Amino acid sequence: MLFERISYPDDFPIHITIAEIDDYPIHYHQDIEFVCVLKGEVKLKNGYCHYVLKEGDTFTNSGHEVHSLASTGEENVVALIQISTRFFSQYFPDLSKSCYRTYSNKAHTPRHDNLREKLLQILLRYCTKSFSYKTECTYLMVDTIRYLEKYFNLFAFEGDMVVNFEDGNPVATERISRIISYIYQHYTEKITLQDLSDMEHLSTFYLSHIIKSCTGMNFREFLCFARVEWSEIDLLDTNKKISRIAHDVGFSTTAYYEKYFKKWFRETPQEHRDRCQPLVKSDLHPEVIRETPPNSAIRLIRDTLSSFDAQKSSTSVINSLKLEVNLDAEAEILRHIDPELEIQVTCADLRALNCHLTGRLQDLHPDMVTILASDIDKSAEIEQLKQTLSRAGFVVRVQNQMLPRPTFSYANDSLALPIDLFSRRIHGEDSHLTLRLRDYGDMDSTLKGMPALLTSRGIRKPSFYGYQLLSLARGELIAWGKQYCVIRRPSTAGEVPSFVMIAYNENDAMQSMCVNETTAHQAKQILNDFNDEIDLNVSLTLEPGMYSIVRYSMGREKNLFSYAAALDFREEMSLANHFPELIYTEPDIDICMEDVRTMINIRFAMKGPGLQVAVIRPKGGNL
C-alpha cells in the first residue's frame, strides 16, 4: 500500500523516529515529514528527483509527495519528524495545500541553518523527555511551520533538481509563494495566466516574466509539472488506465500527459509504473531500519547543536550550564538520605483549619508533629489536639514554650524557600527540618514572610509543596552535584528499586534572602533578575520493563508568591474567595508510562529559579 498512515499516540501531534536506514520503500502520506540527517548520508527519492542527503542536510516532504529513502552503503542516522496536518491546520488553515522545499545545494545559508536549529531543538526536547516536553515540542513546531511559510513555501529549478527558491526581494518572494500555492491547490482545474494576473493585479506579460525568472519555467510548464507530480500517486497506488489518470490530474489528452511525464521522469508513465510498483512499501516489502538508542541520539543532536552555537557570537550575560549524568541502577551508595521532618502546630491552627488540619498534615508526611503550647491555651484544648493527631497516626509531642521570633523574609513565601530546603537537606549535614504549619496572626493578610507551609487562612505556599516532595527524598544517594541529586529508594529483596531525581536552580542572592530580612518587592526583584539556565540530562540504566514516570515542576511564574506579586502585594488581598485562581499556584505534574529496554533518559531544563523532581518506579512498584 503506497499510503502510509501515521499514528499519533497520546494526542501528541508529532511522531519522531531516529534510526539507521537501510531501506524505506516508496510511499506517501498526507502529513508533512522532515528528514534530518544526523550522521552519514542517505539517498532520497522525491517525485522525479533523486538526492544524496549528507550529514546536516534537512529535507521536507510535503503531504502527498511520493518518496523513499535508502542507504548509500555508508553508516547513517536519520531523524524523521512527522506532524499531524489536521492538528496544525488550526494554526495554518492552508497547511494541507502547502508545498515546502527546503533543499539547497549550498552548504550553509542563514535561513537553512535557522531551520535546522529549530528542528534539532524539537528533537532534543523529544529525546530527553523534559517536563511538559509535548507542549514544548508543539509550540516549537508552530514556530517552525511559521518559518517555513515565510521562507520555504516556494521553489525553483536548478537544472533538473527542485530546490528552495532564494531571493532577497521580499515582495517577489511573497508573490511567487502565493502563485505556487494557488497552482498546487487548483492543478486539476482549467487555470489560465489571466486568472493569476487578476489575482495578483498584474499584467499577464509581467506575471509570466516573474514565474519564469523565479521558477525557471514558464507558466504552462509549471502547471504541467504540478499535474505530473500529483499523478504519481494514482500511477503507483492504483490500476487506473493511464488515460484516466491524465484526465483526473487536468491534462486534455493522454499524449500531452505522457509528453510532460517523460520530460521530468525520463520514462513513460507505464514504464514508471512497471518499474516502481514492485518497490512500493507493503506488508511484504516493509521498511528496514534500526532505531538509535536515545542516549546515542541525544549525543548526536547535542553535537550538532554545539556546532551551531560555535558559529554564533552571543552578547547575552545569561549563564548556561549543561550537564550529562550517566548512571547504573546498581551504582554504589555515596551516603544515606533520611530527612527528619517536623511540623509545629498550635491550638489556633485547629480553630482556623478545623477538620482540614489532619488532612493537611497527612499530605506532608511528617515524622513528628509538635504542639506549641502557650500560656493562653487551655489544657483541655491541648489534650484534645494531641488526641486528634494521635488518632490520625502521627507521632506527637507537646512543647510548652513558643520558639523565638523567626526572621521575617518574604523569601519564605516564594519559590526560594522550597529550593533552599532541598539544597540544605541534600548538601548540608543537618538532616532535621522544622517548620510551622501555618502563619500566625491576622487572617486577612495573605503573605507575612514567615517560615510556614500555609498562610493564616490555610492556603498552600510554595514551601508546602517543597516539603511534600522532600518526604520522597529518602534512600541511598547514588549521584549528586551542586544542583542535582539521584536517590535510590529502598526496596525489598528481589524487587526492582525506584528512583527519585531532583534538580534545582538557584543563586547566592536567593540563598541569602532566605536567612535575612527581605521585603516582598526585594524578593520579587531577586527572583526576576535570576535568569541563569540549567540543562541537565540524566541517563539511568535499568532492568527492562514498564516504568511509571511522575514529574513535578515548580517555577518562578506559577506559585502563590507570583500570584500576589502580580496583584502588587495588596494588603487586603485575602484570597478567601479566589479558589479557581489558586489552581494556578499548584506545581505542574506530568505522568507517563515508558517501556524501558536498557536505559531511561530524564531531562531537567530550567531558566531562572526552579525545582523539578522525577520519580521513576517499576510498574506496580511502591514508594
Domains of the chain by residue range: 9-290, 335-618
With a cut of 50, say whether residue 388 has pLDDT above it. yes
- What confidence tens digit (pLDDT) does each residue in 90-125 have? 988 888 877 787 777 665 678 888 899 999 999 988
Residue spans of alpha helices (H) in 479-535: 508-513, 520-529
Average pLDDT estimate for 314-338: 78
Tell me: pLDDT of 185 over 90: no
Q: What is the CATH number of domain 9-290?
A: 1.10.10.60
Instruction: Give the model confidence (pLDDT) of 551-572 as tens digits.
Output: 999 998 888 888 888 877 765 4
Q: Is the pLDDT reported for residue 318 higher than 70?
A: no
Residue whose C-alpha cell reads 512499501 in the numeric block = 281
pLDDT in tens, 45-100: 998 889 899 998 899 988 888 999 999 999 999 999 999 999 999 988 888 877 78
Q: How far apart are CA 559 and CA 455, in angstroms?
A: 13
- The closest alpha carbon to 132, from 617, 610, 622, belongs to 610
pLDDT confidence tier of residue 511, bands split at 50, 70 and 90: confident
Q: What is the rounded distance in angstroms from the CA atom of residue 127 to the CA atom of residue 112?
A: 22
User: With 80 as the cut, is the pLDDT of residue 188 above it?
Assistant: yes
Q: Is 464 buried (19+), middle (13-18) or exposed (0-12) by CB count in 10 A? A: buried
- What b/e readout covers 494-527, taking b as 16+ CB neighbours within 10 angstroms? eebbbbbbbbbbbbebbbebbeeebebebbbebb
Q: Is the dihedral of CA 503, 509, 512, 514 positive or negative?
A: negative
- 611 pLDDT exceeds 60? yes
Per-residue confidence band for 316, with pLDDT thresholds at 50, 70 and 90: very low
Kind of pairing between the strands at 452-454 and 432-438: parallel
Helix extents (H) in 73-169: 85-88, 110-128, 133-151
Q: What is the pLDDT of residue 408?
A: 81
pLDDT number for residue 80: 97
End-to-end CA gap in the chain: 48
Using alpha carbons, list the distances in angstroms from residue 106 to 52, 149, 170, 250.
13, 20, 20, 35
pLDDT tens-digit readout, 222-251: 899 889 988 999 999 999 999 999 999 999
Q: Determine the CATH number of domain 335-618.
A: 2.60.40.1500
Query: Percent of the chain, pLDDT > 70?
Result: 89
Least confident of 130-139, 326-335, 357-366: 130-139
**In 452-599, which ranges are continuous DSSP H helix?**
462-470, 508-513, 520-529, 560-566, 579-582
Lowest mean pLDDT among 140-154, 194-208, 523-537, 560-574: 560-574
For residues 371 and 399, the answer to whether their CB atoms sit within 8 Å is yes
Residue 164 predicted with pLDDT over 70: no
Contact 551, 612 (CB under 8 A): yes
Contacts of 580 (CB under 8 A, 6+ apart): none
Inform me whether the pLDDT recorded for 362 exceeds 60.
Answer: yes
For strand 368-372 and strand 396-399, is the pairing parallel, antiparallel, or unpaired?
parallel
| C-alpha to C-alpha distance for 264 and 44, rounded to whole angstroms | 16
**How would residue 315 be classed by pLDDT, with cut points 50, 70 and 90?**
very low
Question: CA-to-CA distance for 435 and 368, rounded, in angstroms?
Answer: 11
| Element spanning 480, H or E | strand 475-481
Beta-bridge mates of residue 46: 49, 67
For residues 484 and 423, what is the distance between their CA atoms, to the nearest angstrom?
9
State how far Cα 77 lies from the chain centre.
22
Is pLDDT of 493 > 90? no
CA distance 254 to 245: 9
Percentage of the chain lying above the pLDDT 90 cut: 40
So what's the pLDDT on residue 290? 95
CA distance 156 to 166: 9
Cα 430 vs. chain centroid, distance in angstroms? Answer: 37
Runs of H (alpha helix) within 481-578:
508-513, 520-529, 560-566
Q: What is the pLDDT of residue 150?
A: 79
pLDDT exceeds 50 at position 588? yes
Average pLDDT, the chain: 85
Q: Which residues contact 324 (CB under 8 A, 6 or more apart)?
A: 537, 539
Yes or no: say if 411 and 514 are a contact pair by the CB < 8 Å rule: yes
How many angstroms from the chain centroid is the CA of residue 428? Answer: 33
- Does pLDDT of 340 surpass 90? no
- pLDDT class for 510, splitting at 50, 70, 90? confident
Q: pLDDT per residue over 270-289, tens digit each?
A: 999 999 999 999 989 999 99
Which residues does 272 contact at the CB level (< 8 Å), separation at least 6?
A: 232, 235, 236, 261, 265
Instruction: Taking residues 348-363, report their average pLDDT.
Output: 90
